[in-house]
A and B are shown apart, each in its own frame.
Chain A
Amino acid sequence: RKEVEQDPGPFNVPEGATVAFNCTYSNSASQSFFWYRQDCRKEPKLLMSVYSSGNEDGRFTAQLNRASQYISLLIRDSKLSDSATYLCVVIAIMNYGGSQGNLIFGKGTKLSVKP
């Protein structure tokens, strides 16, 4: 099983649709989780952190399910500008009490929002 897995897509959705992505991780010691957004031929940028209690930022909601070892990203009322690749990032802490971790990127899920 790969350490961090994402459905590559593409997810083709109409404007206004709600779309959800999942990201599964294999290391149960994983502690920190993030969603990054990467536009075509650009650098990744942090979209949002994922907390145990969930995290909502406008139209975006991120959730963590530790029991099933996955995180999710929900986008409501999709806009054309949401078209991008969404990368899942998982960090497993190697040294408790320290800051050293093992950071792994998923390969990303491509979203295309159509008019």
Chain B
Amino acid sequence: DGGITQSPKYLFRKEGQNVTLSCEQNLNHDAMYWYRQDPGQGLRLIYYSQIVNDFQKGDIAEGYSVSREKKESFPLTVTSAQKNPTAFYLCASSTPFQGVAGELFFGEGSRLTVL
């Protein structure tokens, strides 16, 4: 079955540590996205990528980094520079970019807690 896989589902981190969240899709989608969701808040865009080897900052990119070396993969690194990293992180993909004609497909999310 095609879909998006995020790992890990739950992650605990000590302050000052970098962590990398994995996102893999086998939908053959060109565009991939990372969103952050805080309780009672909407989804906020961190980074997006329209094509391999290219990515753009979203609305809240500070303290995060990404790479897009393969079409299928779009990992997100939460660095120690991110002031409030505890959140629910969602990876999504679509075709075409931002799903003008279609929908966004989401992974099940990764819940990061900083201790």
Residues on A facing B (Cβ under 8 Å)? 4, 8, 31-32, 34, 36, 41-46, 49, 87, 89, 91, 93, 99-103, 105-108
Contacts and interface: CB of A to CB of B under 8 A. Distances in A.
A49 B100 CA distance: 11
Nearest to A32: B100
Contacts of B43: 44, 87, 105
Interface of B: 35, 40-43, 45, 50, 88, 90, 96-101, 103-104, 106-109, 111
B106 A91 contact: no
Given A43-B109, A44-B43, A108-B42, A91 B97 contact: no
A51 to B, nearest CB: 12
B97 A107 contact: no
Contact of A100 (B35, B97, B104): B97
B97 A8 contact: no
21 contacts: A31-B100, A34-B103, A41-B88, A42-B109, A43-B90, A43-B107, A49-B103, A87-B43, A91-B99, A91-B100, A99-B98, A99-B100, A99-B101, A100-B98, A100-B100, A101-B99, A103-B45, A103-B104, A105-B43, A107-B40, A108-B42
Contacts of B99: 32, 91, 101, 103
Given A100-B100, A101-B97, A103-B45, 13 more contacts: A4-B42, A34-B103, A41-B109, A43-B106, A44-B90, A44-B106, A46-B104, A99-B98, A99-B100, A101-B100, A103-B98, A106-B42, A107-B42
